[in-house]
């Protein structure tokens, strides 16, 4: 039985979790028996993630992790792996990489691989680098979700290039004419169909650079009459950002929507998506915009230049530079024909470079390489 056990620590549904919601059902269709173990904190059971997993028919279970250091987790996890008898274990994110690798070795699982999803600066910390180095010595292969992450993994975490393979996230394009009606945001707020809509979708944390977007929006409003900014998501910086919006006198034009489950419809209604991240392992939200033909203005950091083709599918600007960000946003909001053209080219780029079929076939190839028990 070709059972593959994936392990991830989750506190919500972010990029890595969305990736698994696409990848795991597709792997099942390749005649693999996929089982997911989600490490959850006692006070954060992430019911929304398990609901989403059930919706795509992925078998998943919860295992409690009691803090960053939990000496009880490796033996508990190893015991469960022995009962599941996988041909390989595939880990995602820091906690799962460390605990999952140790547990897999205790359970004598034939092969372990991990996916590197981000280039978080915390990984540069000396202790984290040492622990990661220990874990990476014990995995068969490291999947990097972008060339930028591959370089980071090699340079910072000292993983040999021969052990790293780059596999981009994949996403299916969406037929916006049949999947949903246009104008969901404009209808919700009772706005005219011509109101310029700028959006941000993601966690409200420092990494995402939303503070710079809000400062840029002050400039946008000077040049684009009636423009509205929709901030979709939540996080530790929400109150700080709301206070900044009030201080800048933007309360009537900046709207915090919290988490939404109609992201595709929201993306399709935006004129431009802003991704002002300070660093970004991939930026799945950019693919979500491309899938519905919405152009993107993003920071020129980490993996984002691999996804957004500057001047072709969107615009790239220096990080934390609100003047450059505002200029790019104004250009696309004002030049609607150029904006639509970029959105269409983005959709074509998605269909060429970031397909689910390519993502799945490359994963299966890695699985075959590291485990002789998988069929060719």
12 with 100, same domain: the answer is yes
Q: What does pLDDT average to over the chain? A: 93
Report pTM. Answer: 0.91
pLDDT per residue as tens digits for the range 214-232: 999 999 999 999 999 999 9
Same domain, 152 and 283: no
Q: Cα separation of 368 and 111, whole Å?
A: 11
Residues 90 and 50 in one domain: yes
User: Which CATH number does the domain housing residue 242 bear?
Assistant: 3.40.50.2000
Residue whose C-alpha is closest to residue 93's, from 58, 63, 123:
123
In the predicted structure, residue 178 carries a pLDDT above the cut 70: no
Dihedral angle of Cα 77, 79, 85, 90, to the nearest 10 degrees: 10
Instruction: Tell me the torsion sign for CA atoms 173, 53, 55, 180.
Output: negative
Question: Are 307 and 363 part of one and the same domain?
Answer: no
Report the pLDDT averaged over residues 303-321. 97
- Shared domain check, 214 and 308: yes
pLDDT of residue 179: 52
Give the C-alpha separation, 371 to 218, whole Å. 55
User: What confidence score (pLDDT) does residue 177 get?
Assistant: 59
Using CA atoms, how far apart are residues 197 and 190, in angstroms rounded to an integer? 13
Task: Give the pLDDT mean for 115-138.
Answer: 84
Q: Report pLDDT for 173.
A: 82
Answer yes or no: is 376 within a domain: no
The Cα 281–Cα 352 span in angstroms is 20
pLDDT of residue 125: 83
Domain count across the chain: 2
Question: Do the Cβ atoms of 32 and 4 come closer than 8 Å?
Answer: yes
Q: Are residues 98 and 193 in the same domain?
A: no
Quote the pLDDT of residue 328.
98
Does the residue 375 lie in any domain?
no
SS3 232: strand
Nearest-angstrom CA–CA distance, 298 and 275: 4
Model confidence at 375: pLDDT above 70? no
> What's the rounded mean pLDDT across residues 234-249?
97
Average pLDDT of the residues in 61-69: 94
Same domain as 154, residue 22? yes
H/E stretch holding 297 reads strand 296-299
CA distance 228 to 218: 11
* Number of Cβ atoms within 10 Å of the Cβ of 210: 26
> What residue numbers bound the domain in which 86 lies?
3-170+355-370
Query: What are the tens digits of pLDDT across the range 264-298?
Result: 999 999 999 999 999 998 999 999 999 999 999 99
Question: How far is it, in rounded angstroms, from Cα 190 to Cα 334?
Answer: 22
Residue 10 — very low, low, confident or very high, per pLDDT cuts 50/70/90?
A: very high
Cβ neighbours of residue 97 under 8 Å, at least 6 residues apart? 91, 114, 132, 135
The confidence score (pLDDT) of residue 140 equals 93
Answer whether residue 244 is part of any domain: yes
Q: Are residues 180 and 159 in the same domain?
A: no
Residue 133 lies in a domain: yes
Inter-residue contact 326 to 337 (CB < 8 Å): no
Q: Is 57 left (phi over 0), alpha (psi -120 to 50) or beta?
A: left
Q: Is 221 found in the same domain as 166? A: no
Residues 213/326/301/263 CA torsion (nearest 10 deg) = 50
Residue 376 above 60 pLDDT? no
Residue 140 shares a structural domain with residue 247: no
Q: Could you tell me what percent of the chain has a pLDDT over 70? A: 97
The residue length of the chain stands at 376
| Interatomic CA distance for residues 225 and 147, integer angstroms | 39
Q: Are residues 187 and 85 in the same domain?
A: no
Low-confidence winner among 32-46, 166-180, 309-323 (lowest mean pLDDT) = 166-180
């Amino acid at each position: 039985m070709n059972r593959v056990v994936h392990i991830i620590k989750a506190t919500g549904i972010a990029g890595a979790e969305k990736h698994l919601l696409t990848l795991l059902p597709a792997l099942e269709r390749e005649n693999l028996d996929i089982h997911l173990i989600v490490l959850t904190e006692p006070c954060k059971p992430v019911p929304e993630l398990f609901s989403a997993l059930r919706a795509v028919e992925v078998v998943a279970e919860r295992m409690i992790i009691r803090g960053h250091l939990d000496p009880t987790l490796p033996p508990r996890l190893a015991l469960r792996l022995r009962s599941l008898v996988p041909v390989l274990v595939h880990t995602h994110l820091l906690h799962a990489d460390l605990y999952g690798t140790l547990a897999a070795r205790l359970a004598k699982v034939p092969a372990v691989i991990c996916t590197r999803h981000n280039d978080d600066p915390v990984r540069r910390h000396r202790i984290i680098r040492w622990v990661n180095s220990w874990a990476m010595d014990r995995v068969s292969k490291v999947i990097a979700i972008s060339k930028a992450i591959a370089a980071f993994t090699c340079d910072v975490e000292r993983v040999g290039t021969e052990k790293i393979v780059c596999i981009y996230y994949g996403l299916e394009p969406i037929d916006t004419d049949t999947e949903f009606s246009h104008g969901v945001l404009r209808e919700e707020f009772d706005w005219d169909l011509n109101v310029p809509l700028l959006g941000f979708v993601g966690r409200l944390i420092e990494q995402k650079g939303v503070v710079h977007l809000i400062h840029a929006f002050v400039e946008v409003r000077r040049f684009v009459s009636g423009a509205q900014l929709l901030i979709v998501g939540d996080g530790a910086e929400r109150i700080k950002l709301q206070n900044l919006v009030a201080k800048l006198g933007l309360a009537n034009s900046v709207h915090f929507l919290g988490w939404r489950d109609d992201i595709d419809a929201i993306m399709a209604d935006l004129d431009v998506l802003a991704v002002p991240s300070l660093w970004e392992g991939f930026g799945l939200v950019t693919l979500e915009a491309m899938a519905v033909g919405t152009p993107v203005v993003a920071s020129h950091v980490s993996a984002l230049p691999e996804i957004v083709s500057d001047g072709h599918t969107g615009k790239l600007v220096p990080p934390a530079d609100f003047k450059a960000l505002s200029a790019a946003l104004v250009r696309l909001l004002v030049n609607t024909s150029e904006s639509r053209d970029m959105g269409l080219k983005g959709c074509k780029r998605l269909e060429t470079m970031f397909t689910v079929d390519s993502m799945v076939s490359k994963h299966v190839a890695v699985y075959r390489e590291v485990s002789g028990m998988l069929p060719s």
